[in-house]
Amino acid sequence: MLLPVNQFFDTLPKKQCSKCGTVMEEQSECYTHECDECGGKTVYPLTFKPDPKYQP
């Protein structure tokens, strides 16, 4: 008997970095097997948070 699709995907293990083993966030169209730190990538946040110490 086949599982429903959503139950099948819920039972899959979390994606982990192949070097350090940290759990990675799932992203669509993302086939990398290394986290950003192990891959040497710099990631910038998508939201802007102003510095509370900045006074114009």
Q: Where do we find the tokens 């169209």? A: 29
Q: What is the pLDDT of residue 19?
A: 92
User: Helix, strand, or coil here: 7?
Assistant: helix
Sign of the CA dihedral running 36, 40, 33, 17: negative
Q: What is the pLDDT of residue 49?
A: 75
Tell me the pTM: 0.53
- Domain of residue 29 covers 1-39
Identify whether 44 is part of a domain. Answer: no
Q: What is the pLDDT of residue 47?
A: 76
Other CB atoms within 10 A of residue 35 CB: 20
Identify whether 46 is part of a domain. Answer: no
Identify whether 49 is part of a domain. Answer: no
User: How many structural domains comprise the chain?
Assistant: 1
Could you tell me the mean pLDDT of each successive run of 10 residues in the chain, 56 residues long? 86 90 81 84 75 79
